[in-house]
Structures are given as structure tokens and as C-alpha cells.
Amino acid sequence: MGFTIDKRFMLLGFSMSTTAPLVLATLHEPVLISVSTALLTLPLALIVYLYVNDYWGPDGLFHYVSSVSMRLGSVQLYSWLLSYFLYIIYTVDYVDYMVLKLPDSVSNALTIVLPVVFSIIVVTGLSYLVLLALSLAQVILALPIPQLGWVRSMAITHTALPQLFINILSSSLLIVCITLVPYADGDTRLSRYVIYVFVLSSALMIVGSFFKASLVITQLTSLGYIGLILAEYTALYNLLYYGLGFKRSKLIIPALVVSLDAVSLMNYDEFYNITIVPSVAALYLTLLIPLLTVPFYLNRSKPLTKALNARYIHIVLSAAASLMMAYGAYTVLTQSTGVSLYEAVMALITPTLLGIVRPLNRKQHFSANDKYLT
């Protein structure tokens, strides 16, 4: 069975949007940081490729982990929902007030209008088409062409080693969102798109070390953040509505997104600071779990003698990617103080306890997704 052109391009557009290529290109980090970031996130990208090459359905990472342990899968699910729901909310504020830097009256209006528009796009199934357009625009604008506003300027760093690691970790947070790819309406025969997206995004980030973006291009990175919000919103909707069969999410999720962004208008700076720490802490937890379960899931049905070499590779990839997530969680905890530290700790503990005490029903979940199994 072949694919329509629409299916191929729509899936590629979704996958490309998860890494926000224009944002990566404008980071303008020293080449050492850019190359290190690409190398550090390579095991993660390879794991995503291996996962979607085996199964690619709307329940994403939850499927892989719950196949090994439903309680562990439930911890992963609850922490994922916490992390990405908060991300969708506070990134709208970030785009309106900190990237576009528009007058407050305009930003206030956009804080209400954008979530409404995003909700309509996702619920009506237009997100893949919009993401394709956004990803194409980002790649074109990320090309270091002088006429587009790029100036040759090599980034130089004199950063101390500890801060250097933190800068690399911060840069990797964007590429880490490639883990959203498993939540698309995908097909295992197109799993190579993960590699294409990773290579192109990493290349644009490295090239960006030698070129500095103009103010206009920097403001246009809002396209990258909007694409990332839409990709996350689509992944959230796919997981709840199609993956878990939670039909009421068609109304509940848009209502929560719009209303909470409206609440952020009371004090967007404070709202951003309150929500970003638990979101990032939960992100490291929700990604650490599927990275640790890679060897168990991928070799679950293979004879040990035939899978031994592959198992070693899976263990190495798992260890490398898991260390990055563990270090990220450690960094959040050690750099947070006061209320932020409390939020970070609760973002790690609450989904863990909830997943152990209230795991999802295995039979109900897997029966709803049989058509995606290969």
C-alpha cells in the first residue's frame, strides 16, 4: 500500500515542527555548544526512530512504556500531560510578550485569540496542514542568506565549564521535543523522517553558529514557537482523544487552554515563572522513563540469541539519553529555590505517586489501538 503526497508531507511537516528549526538556527551559540548539543541529543533521536519504526500510533511514548509496565506507563503519562499542558499555556505568553515584544494591548489580545485559533485548528484536523506551512517557512528563513537578514558573525564563548554544560542542556531542550513525533498519526514505513528532521535541524543549528540573525528574523522565530505549540497541542489531543479514547477532551482541553491563558493576563511574568519550572521538571521525568525502558520494549519479542547485538546497542543508547535527562532533572532541582524548588519537587513526586496508585486499565487501552500495531 502506497502513500499519498499529502500523507508524506503532512507527517514531515509535523515532525519538522517539533524541533523548531528557525529557533535553533537563531540561537547563535558557539560551534562547540552547537556540535555538542547535536551529539548529545543524537541517542535520543535514534531511540525515537527505533520506537516509531516498531509502532507509530496516537498514544506515543505511553504505548512503549505501558507495554513493559502499566504502572510505569501511567507515571510517564501523567508527567507528560503535566509538562506539555503547562508548556502550551506559558509558551503563548512567551511568544506574545517576550518574542514579538508588541504593545501590551496587542499582546493581551493575542493571549486570548491565539489559544482560540490553535484550538480550532487542532479540533478541526487542520493542524497537519498548518504545521507543514510553518515548517517550510522556518526552513527557508533559517537559510543564512544575506537578503533574508543574516550576517556572517562567528559566536565565541568564554563560558566556564559548569555553565557550558548548562548552555548545552538548554539548547538541547528544543531538539528534545522530537519526542513528540511518536504522537502523530504516523506510519512505521515513514520512520526515516525522524532522522531527516534531526539531521536538518542540527545542521541549521550548527550553521547558525557562524551567522547572526537580524531583528526581523529573531521576531519571526515566533513561527517556530507557534509551530511547536501546535505540534504539542496536536500530540495532546491525539493522545487523549484517539489514543486513550477520552472523547470529552474535544471540549475540555480547549476550554482549559483558553481559560488558563486568560488567567495569565493578571500577571504574565509571574504566571510564566510559576509554570515553567514544574513543566521542565516533569519533562525530564516523562522522557527519562521511556528512555530507560528502550531495551525492554524493543527486545520483548525477540529470542535472546538473535537480539543480543541489538540489545547492547539499545542499552548504550538508553544509557546515553537517560543520563542527559537525569542531569536535566538534577539541574532543575539544584538551581531552583523557594517556591520554584517546591514546584519542581511536586512535579516529580505527584505524577509518580498517581501512576503507582491509579494506573490506567491495560485491556481498555490496548484494545483501542490494535489497528496501529505492526
Give the 3-state DSSP-derived string for the chain, with helices as H, strands as E and coil as C: CCCCHHHHHHHHHHHHHCCCHHHHHCCCCCHHHHHHHHHHHHHHHHHHHHHHHHCCCCCHHHHHHHHHCHHHHHHHHHHHHHHHHHHHHHHHHHHHHHHCCCCHHHHHHHHHHHHHHHHHHHHCCCHHHHHHHHHHHHHHHHCCCHHHCEEECCCCCCCCHHHHHHHHHHHHHHHHHHHHHHHCCCCHHHCCHHHHHHHHHHHHHHHCCCEEECHHHHHHCHHHHHHHHHHHHHHHHHHHHHHCCCCCHHHHHHHHHHHHHHHHHHCHHHHHHHHHHHHHHHHHHHHHHHHHCHHHHHCCCCCHHHHHHHHHHHHHHHHHHHHHHHHHHHHHHHHCCHHHHHHHHHHHHHHHHHHHHCCCCHHHHHHCCHHHCC
The predicted model scores a pTM of 0.91
Residue 258 pLDDT greater than 50, yes or no: yes
% of the chain at pLDDT higher than 70: 89
Residue 324 pLDDT greater than 70, yes or no: yes
Give me the pLDDT at residue 309, please.
73
- Domains observed in the chain: 7-363 (1.20.1740.10)
- Determine the average pLDDT of the residues in 212-234: 95
Give me the pLDDT at residue 366, please.
53
Residue 362 pLDDT greater than 80, yes or no: no
